[in-house]
Amino acid sequence: MREYDHKAIEKKWQDEWTKHQIYKTPKTDRPKQYILDMFPYPSGSGLHVGHVEGYTATDIYSRFKRMQGYAVLHPMGWDAFGLPAENYAIKTGTPPQTSTDAAIVNFRKQIQALGLSYDWDREVGAHNPDYYRWTQWFFLFLFKNGLAEKRMARVNWCPKDQTVLANEQTVSEDGVKGVCVRCGTPVEQKELSQWFFKITEFADDLVKDLDTVDWPESTKINQRNWIGRKEGVVVPHVVSGTDLTLHTFSAYPAWLFADTFIVIAPEHPLVPALVQGTEAESAVMSFVAAAQKKTTEERGDSKEKLGIFTGRYAEDPFRKGEKMPIWIANFALMDFGTGVIRCSSHDARDYEFAQKYEIPLRHVVGDGSFVDAHDNAGVLIDSGPFTGRTISPELIVEMIDWMVSHGIAERKVTYRLRDWLISRQRYWGAPIPVVYDPSGVPHPVPEEHLPWMLPTDVEYQPKGSAPLGTSQELIERTERIFGPGWKPEIDTMDTFVCSSWYFFRFADAKNSNAFASPEAIAAWVPVDLYVGGAEHTVLHLMYARFFTKALKRFGYVSFDEPFLKLRHQGTILAEDGTKMSKSKGNVINPDDVVELYGADTVRMYEMFMGPLEAMKPWNTKGIIGPRRFLERVWRLTDKVGDGALGAAEAVFNQTIKKVGDDIQTFGLNTAISQLMICLNAFEELPVVPRAAFETYLKLLAPFAPHLTEELWHELGHTTSIHLESWPTYDDTKLMADTVVIAVQVAGKTRGTVSVSHGASQEQVLAVAERDLKLAQYLPQTPSRVIFVPNKILNLVP
RNA sequence: GCCGGAGUGGCGUAAUGGUAGCCGCGCACGACUCAAAAUCGUGUCCCGCAAGGGGUAAGAGUUCGAGUCUCUUCUCCGGCACCA
């Protein structure tokens, strides 16, 4: 018999599919599905098995949806700007353009070898000028609408990579904080003028609209935590003997009567004025200087509370006539709230600080032992008009109303989310389309000069300023267009900017008049299904949502959220259960496995390993299972002929139902399991009816596109199986004629009986009573009988 | 510390509150073979010859019936964390 030669078959059909363009995106004259993978960074080391997992899942889903009759958009592209290519250039002198293009060629080849059904006509690369001209357009769009601005900022600076990092990029992949995400070097603080996108303007919507999308709950929670929305009050305090006012923020207004002192962040702008001319001035200012020098890492590392008394007192609006000492404290963060905090005995951190520096405390709940304000529970004492009241959500509202009406406080919402710093002192990114006039004022580069080309005459070696500064061409271009004395912006954009809008581009990838036409956007976006790694739960998704909301605000799109349904693929671990890493040498290269077993086997194996979202270890021995399965399907052709399904009819119909249901809900492992069960049943038959086998091939087609296409053609078909319709099942034939029912006594299974499908309680009981083994357990006069048709009969004595 | 998620055979895993362990890997035995591989068949949670009993991290609860629901505890994973 002929051999299952995966190499020949897979190559043959991949070529055929390309030739006949069977995965070309159709017109949207019928319901559409936009099914998207997070586009990869084309790294030099190629595709890894984690990519294969996510891409196979969306491929199966796309093929399924096409067979169901949907117009499917399923594209692929390259998140091609980024540091690795630039670091490689620094090391070897190879231009990033060259190494990136080579990596893309390799990625594309690997992806095509897997039989993934992308529409390559819509391929995009973030590093191509016809792409980044629109990235630059987005910058101008935000700038013109007041959502981008340049300002001085204390920024995270990586001394090794010589670049600014966003807060999010100061955590290593292993979770170490205060280090460069790329190289692990401890991050320093630097004051620089930088471009920001005002994502904080959308903070409320970014929280609220999470309720409208079908995303993993944990991802939504991560987003909410990152935004860190907190409702509370701001209380102004007059500083005695000055004309200064300090504003504190509190998210626990019920406890404000407890506060006895105030702390202020070392970098707070009012600190110098606060201590100016006082005895404490020099001591305080040197404390502040010492605190500022510390890197984020050092600050985070030691949680030791350090502080110094300013010599000043604030008047307590909650207790007329009482004064609260004002301290500088290292735990007060300028980045949160107002940078000034009212402190009390009901906060573990404040309490520790007060003990250390012998600051007097009082309590408003309990008998003096520690009660945490975060619990928001207890009966208030010594709390003005609220003494004796029990803390409750209603009381908190009442207290806030009282504070507001007495002019003590104002309502305030704060966020942890910061504006998005997008300036990067790097080469391999989209140039920021800004020029400076001779007096240093920034001007947007007019749209007719886009793409504002990334120059190639640059020095890659980092010298502490941006590489674009070394480009003669860029400087000359700027002066030629704008006039003598004009200077180019030499920073490039954070690569997350490129990936914040690429899903729009796929809808209209070749448009040279707009990032995508309104018609194309209306036809395809938002994305119906988005699949990618869980490592992007915060940054990329947040930024893409921000871009979408900005477009919505200014009338470019009509929807609020870009990704309606999101799923993550879990990490695939090495065989020993640890993370795959080059340094440990335990990385599985998909090419090797595809070579040995074939793409269909690798696809099926990765889907069969377990639930898509689960973290699971690779098991080289386990691959043989799906391979054997495909070989058995291959051999089954010999048994195809004229015959009846007989005993396999119920399993066959169940399989049609379950495979469809499971693909829809991403239970791809159980869908494959069901296909195996069905095959086992087919193998019991003397002859497999041709129609049933063809249906079976259609069910298997999304998983193993090459093998099913080959067998489909062997059966005499001349068109692709992937253009067939998804099979339907016979509702009336889902159950076998005979069912096995568990017979229980008081919930304990005592045996089983075989009865015809749909048998009544009386019929089942009659059969059970005739069963000698069972009869001995059955109670004569059951007090209760529970009967679930086709499942159980339970007699309670 | 806070917020999520998860604990089931030797392994990956499966079970609308209804016979726990489907499907696959591995292993054992058998068939085929001079032999091996491949393939096919049988078996494979634990104790027990069997009848039977026990069993889904531990303990309690709800229920005729709990891997599944509730509470307590333990462990592991992910995220956030001096956040006012």
SS3 assignment for A12-56: HHHHHHHHHCCCCCCCCCCCEEEEEECCCCCCCCCCCHHHHHHHH
Distance of C1' in B84 from CA in A337, Å:
7
Q: Write the DSSP symbol of residue A417.
A: -
pLDDT band at A480 (very low <50, low <70, confident <90, very high): very high
C1'-nearest nucleotide to the CA of A608: B24
The rounded distance, in Å, linking the Cα atoms of A329 and A307 is: 4
Distance of C1' in B16 from CA in A524, Å:
35
Find the range with the poorest average confidence among A98-102, A134-138, A394-398.
A394-398
pLDDT band at A425 (very low <50, low <70, confident <90, very high): confident
Find the range with the poorest average confidence among A367-371, A460-464, A714-718.
A460-464
* pLDDT per position as a tens digit, A736-747: 778 888 888 888
* pLDDT per position as a tens digit, A661-714: 999 999 999 999 999 999 999 999 999 999 999 999 999 999 999 999 999 999
Question: Identity (one letter) of the amino acid at A11?
Answer: K
E strand or H helix at A624 = helix A624-636
Extended strands (E) in A555-663: 566-569, 572-573, 616-617, 640-641
Find the range with the poorest average confidence among A23-27, A303-307, A632-636.
A303-307
pLDDT band at A157 (very low <50, low <70, confident <90, very high): confident
CA distances from A271 to A241, A414, A743 (A): 15, 22, 79
Share of chain A above pLDDT 70, in %: 96
Tell me the H-state helices in A68-213.
Answer: 83-92, 96-113, 129-144, 203-208
What pLDDT does residue A294 have?
64
What pLDDT does residue A797 have?
78
Among candidate residues A792, A790, A681, the one with its CA nearest the CA of residue A739:
A790
3-state helix, strand, coil in chain A (%, to 5): 45, 20, 40
The rounded distance, in Å, linking the Cα atoms of A272 and A145 is: 36
A209 Cβ neighbours under 8 A, 6+ residues apart:
A545, A549, A560, A561
C1'-nearest nucleotide to the CA of A304: B82
pLDDT band at A111 (very low <50, low <70, confident <90, very high): very high
pLDDT of A297 above 50 = no
pLDDT band at A401 (very low <50, low <70, confident <90, very high): very high
Region A79-84: mean pLDDT is 90
What pLDDT does residue A239 have?
94
The rounded distance, in Å, linking the Cα atoms of A496 and A492 is: 12
C1'-nearest nucleotide to the CA of A783: B64
E strand or H helix at A236 = strand A230-238
Do the beta carbons of residue A643 and residue A686 sit within 8 Å?
Answer: yes
Distance of C1' in B20 from CA in A395, Å:
50
Distance of C1' in B14 from CA in A189, Å:
53
Do the beta carbons of residue A697 and residue A705 sit within 8 Å?
Answer: no
pLDDT of A355 above 70 = yes
Find the range with the poorest average confidence among A38-52, A461-475, A690-704.
A461-475
* B24: residue with closest CA to C1': A625
* B4: residue with closest CA to C1': A218
Tokens of A531: 């699949």
C1'-nearest nucleotide to the CA of A791: B18
* B23: residue with closest CA to C1': A673
Do the beta carbons of residue A46 and residue A591 sit within 8 Å?
Answer: yes
The rounded distance, in Å, linking the Cα atoms of A668 and A703 is: 9
Distance of C1' in B36 from CA in A624, Å:
19
Which is more confidently placed, A473 or A293?
A473
pLDDT band at A716 (very low <50, low <70, confident <90, very high): very high
Share of chain A above pLDDT 90, in %: 65
pLDDT of A133 above 50 = yes
A148-158 and A77-78 as β-strands: parallel, antiparallel, unpaired? unpaired
Distance of C1' in B56 from CA in A61, Å:
32
Distance of C1' in B9 from CA in A616, Å:
18
Distance of C1' in B76 from CA in A570, Å:
16
Nucleotides of B under 7 A from a protein CB: 3-5, 11-16, 18-20, 22-26, 38-41, 52, 64-66, 77-84
Radius of gyration of chain A (CA): 33
Angle at A441 between CA A436 and CA A446, to 5 degrees: 55
Angle at A748 between CA A743 and CA A750, to 5 degrees: 45
C1'-nearest nucleotide to the CA of A538: B79
Distance of C1' in B66 from CA in A168, Å:
44
pLDDT band at A72 (very low <50, low <70, confident <90, very high): very high
- Could you tell me the pTM of the whole model? 0.91
The rounded distance, in Å, linking the Cα atoms of A142 and A785 is: 70
Tell me the H-state helices in A257-307.
Answer: 271-275, 281-293, 296-301
* pLDDT per position as a tens digit, A586-619: 889 999 999 999 999 999 999 999 999 998 999 9
* B65: residue with closest CA to C1': A747
Q: Half-sphere exposure of residue A784, counting CA atoms within 13 Å on the CB side? A: 4
ipTM: 0.94
pLDDT of A299 above 80 = no
Which is more confidently placed, A735 or A526?
A526
* B81: residue with closest CA to C1': A300
Helices (H) and strands (E) in chain A, counts: 26, 30
Average pLDDT, chain A: 90
Tell me how far the alpha carbon of residue A717 is from its chain's centroid. 42
Q: What is the 3-state secondary structure (H, E, C) of A575-604?
A: CCCCCCCHHHCCCCCHHHHHHHHCHHHHHH
Do the beta carbons of residue A312 and residue A274 sit within 8 Å?
Answer: yes
* B6: residue with closest CA to C1': A614
* pLDDT per position as a tens digit, A483-511: 999 999 999 999 999 999 999 999 999 99
Distance of C1' in B16 from CA in A506, Å:
39
What pLDDT does residue A293 have?
67
pLDDT of A296 above 50 = no
pLDDT of A175 above 80 = no
Do the beta carbons of residue A75 and residue A51 sit within 8 Å?
Answer: no
pLDDT of A324 above 80 = yes
Do the beta carbons of residue A389 and residue A378 sit within 8 Å?
Answer: no
Indicate left, alpha or beta for A346 from its phi (over 0: left) and psi (-120 to 50: alpha): alpha
pLDDT band at A1 (very low <50, low <70, confident <90, very high): low
* pLDDT per position as a tens digit, A746-775: 888 888 888 888 888 888 888 888 877 777
* B66: residue with closest CA to C1': A747
Question: Identity (one letter) of the amino acid at A168?
Answer: E
Distance of C1' in B7 from CA in A725, Å:
42
* pLDDT per position as a tens digit, A651-664: 999 999 999 999 99
C1'-nearest nucleotide to the CA of A177: B81
The widest CA-to-CA distance across chain A, in whole angstroms, is 106
CA distances from A332 to A227, A256, A264, A301, A328 (A): 19, 17, 6, 15, 8
Which is more confidently placed, A82 or A120?
A120
Do the beta carbons of residue A493 and residue A422 sit within 8 Å?
Answer: yes
